[in-house]
Structure 1
Amino acid sequence: MKQRLITGIVAGAVFLWLCLLGGWPYQLLLTAMALIGFYEFVKMTGLPAMGGTALLGYASVLCFMIPRDLLGSSEWLSWEQGIWLLLLVFLLVTVFSKNKQDIKITALLFTGIVYIGMGFSYMGIARGAEDGHGVFWTFLLLCCIWGSDAGAYFVGKSFGRNKLWPAISPNKTVEGALGGVVISVVISALFAILGPDLLTLGEALLIGLACAVLGQLGDLVQSAYKRVYGIKDSGSLLPGHGGILDRCDSWIIVFPFVHIVMLMPYY
């Protein structure tokens, strides 16, 4: 517990400090986290972490993490065009490798690239919001996610009776999940009160609900994936916490979702 607490405080302080700095320091941190996350993803599958197809995957994740706004350049491909071209490349890997990398492996790696690359990329997009309030939006989402996690844990531990999804995560309860939703919505409402010119109460409630529901689903996605491969943690980078994907599984689902469905008011 002591090790877990120390790791959490140090890692959290570094992350928040770089987030407040923004710009290249924060973008480089997110890029490093994305690459490590993809490394953990590849390792979990049992594939060579530095094999040819995996190296192509790292390069693809880097493409997602290129900060167009910081470089002062416009996007020369839309998200849809970029993802389709990436899909084409990975389909062709099966052809040029003469099925040494079969379609199941390439499809799995493609999934990991989009899952991780887009997840961390949208964290950078939130911080670099065009309205100049990127810290507000980033902290709104993170605080809602963290509040949901804490609420689900403590409410579930105190009042949990009904299992939420025992086949995937036996410790999660329905009561805990509902507690997480309530805490997340309360936090988002507080942000609306603190920033009434940025966020209406109605917008805040929708964002808080989305953070709680999608955040918990993101956690279940990672739990399901690890259960398939019979592992407890995605990595060991953070002592007492596991790997990057263990800590950021909710983040990389929530950040893309709230942007793609246009819940963020600065769009």
Structure 2
Amino acid sequence: MRQRVITAVIALIVFIPIIVYGGLAVELAGGVLAVIGLYELFKMKGLTLLSFEGVVSVLGTLVLVLPLENWFFFLPQETNHFTLFYFFVMVLLAAQVVSKNTYTIDEAAFPVIASLYVGMGFQMFVAARNQSLVVLLFALFIVWATDIGAYMFGRQFGKNKLWPEISPNKTIEGSLGGLLSAVVVAAIFLLLYPGAKYFGVSTGLLLVYTMFFSAAGQFGDLVESAIKRHYDVKDSGNILPGHGGILDRFDSMLFVFPLMHLFGLF
């Protein structure tokens, strides 16, 4: 517990100035976090980023995360993230021909989905901050409230397993507690930052959305648990002592931010 607290304090000391400052600092942080997340996925599968598919995946991930107008200004204005990303998909697919099918489409599928998973998640993280610090904080508070609420309610009232095949310790009671906590925290947040002013929708509708975001965050957590169970590892990494890896801390956010964008909040 002491190690977890120390790591959390240090992480916040580093993280808070970055998200407050925004701009290139957040974009660079998003790119670095995405590459670390990609590294963790590759490591779980027994692959390395210092390989053909690793380098292609890193480049594909970065073109998803980093705003093109700031980092790839030398490209034609018509270029978009997905066209550029697909170029790297074509490179992976072309490797089948060059390798005479010793490198197959099945092997190419993993780096593509891994790059999309972390790349789109952190692209939306950066986009949320570029829209507004309020938007970013709203998402972060929902995720944190869900995590804390699920832990506390699960520990106090948890009896019925939520998804034991994937995450044996999670309970239905904890999940509902996380949902309730997220709505309460969102309601308090929106008293200070009304939905109509900062998000373009009513506060009431945002509270309804919050339930979807909280549920999506919990599902994102379960997705990462499923990945770790598949590869038979306890944590995605060890860069955060006491907490695990970057994916262990950002798994919920990788689902929440894209869903917020889908709902038109930024």
- Contact 1:187-1:208 within 8 A present in 2 as well: no
Shift of 1:82: 4.2
| Residue 207 of structure 2 corresponds to residue 205 of structure 1 | yes
189, 192, 195: which one aligns with 1:191? 189
Which consecutive residues of structure 2, in runs of 5 or more, have no partner in the other structure?
none
Match for residue 32 of structure 2? 32
TM-score (structure 2 length as normaliser): 0.91
Q: Distance in 2 between matches of 1:231 and 1:75?
A: 43
| Residue 13 of structure 2 corresponds to residue 13 of structure 1 | yes
Moved more, 79-88 or 31-40: 79-88
| Residue 180 of structure 2 corresponds to residue 182 of structure 1 | yes
Q: 1:80 to 1:18 in 2, by over 3 A?
A: closer
Shift of 1:141: 0.2
- Contact 1:188-1:207 within 8 A present in 2 as well: no
- Contact 2:129-2:136 within 8 A present in 1 as well: yes
Shift of 1:13: 2.3
Q: Distance in 1 between matches of 2:231 and 2:71?
A: 39
Alignment of 1:1-267 (within 5 A): 1-68=1-68, 70=70, 76-129=78-131, 134-196=132-194, 197-199=197-199, 200-262=202-264, 264=265, 266=266
SS at 2:184 equivalent:
helix
Which consecutive residues of structure 1, in runs of 5 or more, have no partner in the other structure?
none
Shift of 1:184: 0.8
Query: What is the percent sequence identity of the aligned residues?
Result: 39
SS at 1:50 equivalent:
coil
- Contact 2:160-2:172 within 8 A present in 1 as well: yes
Shift of 1:256: 1.1
Q: Distance in 2 between matches of 1:162 and 1:68?
A: 47
* CA deviation map 1:189-233 (0-9, x unaligned): 222211222242223213311221110000000000000110001
Shift of 1:59: 0.9
* CA deviation map 1:15-53 (0-9, x unaligned): 121100111112111111111111111111111331111
* CA deviation map 1:159-199 (0-9, x unaligned): 01100000000000000001111111112222221122224
Moved more, 92-101 or 1-10: 92-101
Shift of 1:4: 1.0
Moved more, 154-163 or 39-48: 39-48
- Contact 1:159-1:175 within 8 A present in 2 as well: yes
Aligned residues: 260
* CA deviation map 1:143-174 (0-9, x unaligned): 00000000011100100110000000000000
Q: Distance in 2 between matches of 1:233 and 1:215?
A: 18
TM-score (structure 1 length as normaliser): 0.91
Q: Distance in 2 between matches of 1:94 and 1:72?
A: 28
Alignment-mate amino acid for residue 232 of structure 2: G
Moved more, 79-88 or 229-238: 79-88
- Contact 2:135-2:198 within 8 A present in 1 as well: no
- Contact 1:237-1:243 within 8 A present in 2 as well: yes
* CA deviation map 1:105-136 (0-9, x unaligned): 2101100000001111111100111xxxx110
Q: Distance in 1 between matches of 2:100 and 2:85?
A: 23
SS at 1:170 equivalent:
strand
